[in-house]
Amino acid sequence: MKALLALASITLLSACAATRPIEPHLASTGTDFADAQTVTVTLSNFRFTPQDITLVAGKPVVLVLDDTATGGHDFTAPEFFAAATIAPQDAALVAGGQIALSGKQQVSIHLVPAAGDYKLVCTHFGHAALGMTGSIKVH
């Protein structure tokens, strides 16, 4: 009986893990980012600017995240990053669907977004409640 329970909880755990993919899809090395559109998102206390980001599905983009505050923020959009294809050299920046920035840090990430409406949030304690949420619309 104990073994059966243990087995059941393992199955449950793996089922949970499967619903939230965090492994980024890597863009093939042949993906051309030379003509990529640059989209800059500013992270400040306590907002994303623009708050609603619009991207074109399937079009390579350089997402520039600019933390203009003295403190850290993060750009957390696990569904967006899971659906996108990310340039191999930038994949390590996306840990668990999140890009963490220190104060005054700027990070560029090359990716090809997939169609969908995604939620964006900063997971620092209290930041979302203060307005640090947004959306990414890819069409």
By CB under 5 A, tell whether 110 contacts Cu ion: no
By CB under 5 A, tell whether 48 contacts Cu ion: no
| The amino acid at 31 | T
Count of residues in the chain? 139
- With CB under 5 A as the contact rule, the residue among 73, 75, 91, 100 that binds Cu ion is 73
Cβ at position 23, least distance to Cu ion in Å: 25
What's the Cα-to-Cα distance from 46 to each of 12, 57, 78, rounded to whole Å? 36, 28, 20
By CB under 5 A, tell whether 124 contacts Cu ion: yes
- When the beta carbons of 36 and 128 are compared against Cu ion, the nearer one is 128
Sites for Cu ion among residues 79-108 (CB under 5 A): none
- With CB under 5 A as the contact rule, the residue among 76, 82, 87, 127 that binds Cu ion is 127
Can you say how many angstroms the Cα of residue 15 is from the centroid of all Cα atoms in its chain?
22
Q: Which stretch binds Cu ion (CB under 5 A): 8-16, 87-95, 103-111, 126-134?
A: 126-134
- With CB under 5 A as the contact rule, the residue among 132, 134, 136, 138 that binds Cu ion is 132
Place of tokens 């999140």: 98
Q: Which residues bind Cu ion (CB under 5 A)?
A: 73, 122, 124, 127, 132
